[in-house]
């Protein structure tokens, strides 16, 4: 990283100057010429850093090493260490659209997001549930440590078009920290629109679905699968990261979503 | 109408005359210029002000707030004859000099007003009885009207003698003051005028003296004017019939800009707008904009209107558009911080933004689709979760805050995140439970017996079960009746 900075700083990178930077600390304070050089090198390092930032800002598509699985710190912790380890930025993305694919409801898809929900509520943001498949049960949320005062539910019987509209508006709204929606079979165009809305509103949207759709523009696509085990009381789920922006290939981990009974 | 005082004669206040006004006029000395008039003051017009007082004795028995409401209604009627209508206790006083010529005299003015006023009083369930009087001063008119003699006095010179004939009751003094006046042998106002002012001030306070000098026109008087409620109406005839609603939006935008100007000028905002789209030979289509929080933001209103239009089916082409706003609220602005800087930047009002969002939702989805949920301390599972409309929930927030021991009643047994609104029956085959796939019970039973008091006997054993595909379900076994198994929730 350091050498990279120097490459950008000075048009002619002199290995001599780089060497003197380290040598100056040990050298006698009397060596004025050298210490001057060092200070000038330090000063020029600062604008160079800015230049990199500017470069990154200008080209958002620029890939960074910290985008790799388990690298960087720019994610929100999922609350599951093994899952953090395979997610870029070591956690859920700050904004964007995620797809959670579960073969049937009840496999712990909400348990997966509970730590995130607690985090959102603690920030004072709202959680919007758009047309959930069943009635949301408040005592369970309170047991999970989630304040129900910041939870809004949009009715089940609203049409798909309205539900998508609501979702888009909510994603654009900065007071909604998390938007959860249950929709199968959304075309890529719609998903891209939702992804854009989430980007502008700095909001995280989560789509729950039964089937995976290839080529979806969502930032993260993961699948939950139950692993049958001999001990019925102990259940573990396999989470496959089909896609996570930054990862090269699908990754897989095992997480215990449901508490042992 | 000329002030034909000269033809009238002196009359003592005798019997209250309900039918017509009695014009009291005293033979006046030759009109002379007021010597006290200062040169810098503009010369007084030959016609002094004339105040027409309406006194409603029936209002005395009403509580203060009702009195004010009744007076407001009556003032709206009286507004038809005068631009200045002033509130007084149980009375309204209108300035009529400026409109006297237009209406052709006080008598016509009175006949014009009598019927609507009586109708208004009947509407208010009050006896349709009122007294009136007119004189050049506000207090003078009020005192004359209170006497119930329906006296009209046109000239300031006649005021003193006309008032002098009134009983001291019209002053509406308190009991002690009345007793003192009586003991002093004073029955009429003219008796008071014989007394020295400073002594009177000492014994009865300056209020009485001021009132009398106001009545005689020697002191300035204030009026408490009736200000009619603002109403905004605007309509626009389209040059040709329009079928596409989006082409109406520029017109609506223009109307909204008029509205916002109107609101800004009066420092108001509104939460209810009514757009009417007029059709030929058909009833108008009404578009009602109801806002959660009053606003005067044009862009927000236009956005909401656009949303209403998007879900509107036009029965016929629109030929004109109308906007009516009659409910207003005072505008509440936010103050920005004086100091700039990161710490001093005002944080955006969290709820206002959310309110905008809710309004958008309501405009698009209609009704109350957005709900918030609350848990209730209740054993029976289906009653332990309450769904409330967002507005209602917000109002009941304080109730929730009064429950500090929130954690105390939390149940030790896990509850599912999804609850089925109707429990689904499970099948039992060869002694095994089936939902879609076979179930095995992980934990239970948890016995819940409740609501026997409401006639609906709930006696169930709840179990947590695992379906073969990995779902965790909340099932129960009835302990009475057919003893069936039901699926009641899903642990997500």
Taking the domains of chain B in order of start, what are their residue ranges?
5-30+44-215, 232-330, 372-409, 418-491
Alpha carbons B422 and B488: distance in angstroms, whole number: 7
Looking at CATH, the fold of the domain delimited by B232-330 is given as Dna Ligase; domain 1 (3.30.1490)
A135 and B421 Cβ atoms separated by less than 8 Å = yes
- Which fold is adopted by the domain B5-30+44-215? Alpha-Beta Plaits (3.30.70)
Q: How many other β-carbons are positioned within 10 Å of the β-carbon of residue A83?
A: 22
* Contact flag B421-A135 (C-beta cutoff 8 Å): yes
- Residue of A138, A229, A257 to mutate, interface with B, max B Cβ within 10 Å: A138
What local confidence, expressed as pLDDT, does residue B395 receive?
65
Buried b (16+ CB within 10 A) or exposed e, B168-177: bebbebeeeb
pLDDT-based confidence at B341, cuts 50/70/90? low
How big is the A-B interface in CB pairs under 8 Å? 158
Confidence of residue B94 (pLDDT cuts 50, 70, 90): very high
CB atoms A153 and B364 under 8 Å: no
- As a whole number, mean pLDDT of residues B192-200 equals 88
Mean pLDDT computed over B26-54: 57
Give the bridge partners for B53, in sequence order.
B93, B133
**What percentage of chain B carries pLDDT values higher than 90?**
11
Asked if this assembly's ipTM is beyond 0.95, the reply is no
Is the minimum CB–CB distance between B420 and chain A shorter than 8 Å? yes
The predicted model gives A1-29 an average pLDDT of 41
- For residue A124, which residues of chain B lie inside 8 Å, CB to CB? 350
| Closest residue, chain A, to B439 (C-alpha) | A232
Q: Do A175 and B440 touch (CB under 8 A)?
A: no
| Contact (CB<8Å) B387/A103 | no
The CATH code belonging to domain A67-255 is 3.40.50.300
pLDDT of residue A117: 92
* Min Cα separation A109/chain B (Å): 6
Most confident range, picked from B321-325, B369-373, B465-469: B321-325
Give me the pLDDT at residue B32, please.
43
Between these two residues, B345 and B267, which has the higher pLDDT value? B267
- Is B377 in CB contact (< 8 Å) with chain A? no
Nearest residue to A211 via CA among A224, A198, A220: A224
Contacts of A148 in chain B (CB under 8 A): 372-375
Residues of chain A with CATH 3.40.50.300: 67-255
Answer whether residue B113 shows pLDDT above 70: yes
Question: What phi, psi does B490 have (nearest 5°)?
Answer: -130, 125
User: Per the CB < 8 Å rule, is A258 touching B365?
Assistant: no
Q: pLDDT tens, A96-146?
A: 899 999 888 888 889 899 999 999 998 888 899 988 888 888 888 888 888
- Across the interface, whether the CB atoms of A148 and B373 are under 8 A apart is answered yes
Burial of A92 (0-12, 13-18, 19+ CB in 10 A): buried
The CA radius of gyration of chain A, in Å to the nearest whole number, is 24
Cα A153 versus chain centre, distance: 24
């Amino acid at each position: 990283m350091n050498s990279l900075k120097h490459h950008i700083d000075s048009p002619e990178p002199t290995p001599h100057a780089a060497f003197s930077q380290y040598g100056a600390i040990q050298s006698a304070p009397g060596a004025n010429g050298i210490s001057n050089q060092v200070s000038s090198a330090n000063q020029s390092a600062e604008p160079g850093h800015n230049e990199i930032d500017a470069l990154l800002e200008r080209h958002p598509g620029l890939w960074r090493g910290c985008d790799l699985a388990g690298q960087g710190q720019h994610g929100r912790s999922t609350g599951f260490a093994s899952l953090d380890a395979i997610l870029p930025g070591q956690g859920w993305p700050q904004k964007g659209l995620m797809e959670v694919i579960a073969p049937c409801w009840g496999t712990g898809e909400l348990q997966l997001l509970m730590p995130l929900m607690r985090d959102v509520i603690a920030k004072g943001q709202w959680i919007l549930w758009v047309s959930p498949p069943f009635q949301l049960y408040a005592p369970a949320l309170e047991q999970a440590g989630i304040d129900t005062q910041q939870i809004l539910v949009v009715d089940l019987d609203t049409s798909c078009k309205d539900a998508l509209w609501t979702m888009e508006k909510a994603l654009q709204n900065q007071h909604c920290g998390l938007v959860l929606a249950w929709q199968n079979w959304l075309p890529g165009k719609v998903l891209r629109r939702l992804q854009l809305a989430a980007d502008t509103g700095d909001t995280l949207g989560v789509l729950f679905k039964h089937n995976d759709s290839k080529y979806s523009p969502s930032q993260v696509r993961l699948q939950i699968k139950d692993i049958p085990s001999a001990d019925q009381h102990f259940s573990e789920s396999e989470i496959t990261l089909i896609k996570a922006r930054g990862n090269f290939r699908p990754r897989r981990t095992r997480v215990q979503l449901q508490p042992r009974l | 109408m000329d002030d034909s005082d000269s033809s009238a004669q002196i009359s003592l206040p005798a019997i209250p005359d309900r039918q017509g006004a009695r014009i009291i006029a005293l033979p006046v000395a030759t009109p002379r210029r007021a010597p006290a008039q200062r040169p810098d003051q503009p010369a007084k017009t030959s016609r002094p002000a004339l105040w027409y007082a309406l006194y409603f004795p029936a209002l005395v028995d009403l509580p203060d707030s009702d009195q004010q409401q009744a007076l407001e209604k009556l003032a709206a009627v009286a507004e038809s004859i005068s631009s200045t209508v002033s509130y007084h206790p149980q009375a309204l006083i209108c300035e009529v000099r400026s409109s006297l010529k237009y209406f052709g005299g006080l008598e016509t003015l009175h006949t014009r007003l009598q019927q609507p006023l009586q109708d208004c009083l009947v509407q208010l369930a009050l006896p349709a009885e009122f007294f009136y009087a007119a004189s050049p001063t506000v207090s003078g008119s009020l005192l004359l009207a209170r006497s119930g003699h329906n006296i009209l006095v046109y000239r300031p010179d006649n005021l003193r003698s006309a008032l002098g004939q009134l009983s001291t009751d019209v002053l509406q003094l308190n009991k002690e003051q009345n007793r003192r006046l009586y003991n002093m042998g004073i029955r009429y106002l003219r008796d008071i005028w014989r007394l020295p002012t400073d002594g009177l001030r000492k014994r009865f306070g300056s209020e009485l003296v001021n009132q009398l000098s106001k009545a005689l026109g020697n002191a300035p008087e204030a009026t408490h004017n009736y200000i009619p409620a603002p109403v905004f109406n605007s309509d626009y005839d389209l040059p040709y019939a329009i079928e596409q609603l989006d082409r109406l939006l520029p017109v609506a935008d223009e109307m909204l800009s008029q509205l916002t100007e109107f609101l800004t000028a009066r420092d108001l905002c509104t939460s209810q707008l009514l757009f009417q789209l007029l059709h030929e030979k058909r009833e108008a289509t009404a578009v009602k904009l109801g806002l959660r929080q009053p606003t005067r933001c044009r862009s927000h209103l236009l956005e909401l209107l656009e949303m209403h239009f998007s879900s509107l089916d036009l029965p016929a082409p629109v030929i004109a558009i109308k906007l009516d706003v009659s409910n207003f609220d005072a505008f509440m602005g936010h103050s920005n911080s004086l100091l700039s800087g990161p710490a001093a930047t005002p944080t955006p009002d969290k709820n206002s933004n959310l309110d905008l969002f809710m309004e958008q939702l309501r405009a698009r989805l209609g009704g109350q689709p957005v709900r918030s949920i609350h848990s209730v301390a209740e054993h029976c599972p289906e009653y332990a979760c309450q769904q409330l409309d967002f507005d209602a929930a917000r109002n009941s927030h304080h109730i929730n805050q009064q429950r500090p021991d929130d954690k105390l009643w939390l149940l030790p047994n896990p509850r599912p995140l999804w609850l089925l609104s109707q429990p689904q029956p499970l099948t039992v085959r060869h002694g095994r439970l089936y939902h879609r796939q076979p179930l095995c019970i992980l934990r239970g039973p948890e016995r819940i017996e409740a609501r026997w008091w409401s006639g609906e006997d709930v006696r169930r054993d709840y179990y947590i079960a695992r379906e073969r595909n990995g779902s965790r379900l909340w099932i129960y076994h009835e302990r009475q009746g057919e003893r069936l198994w039901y699926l009641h929730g899903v642990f997500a």
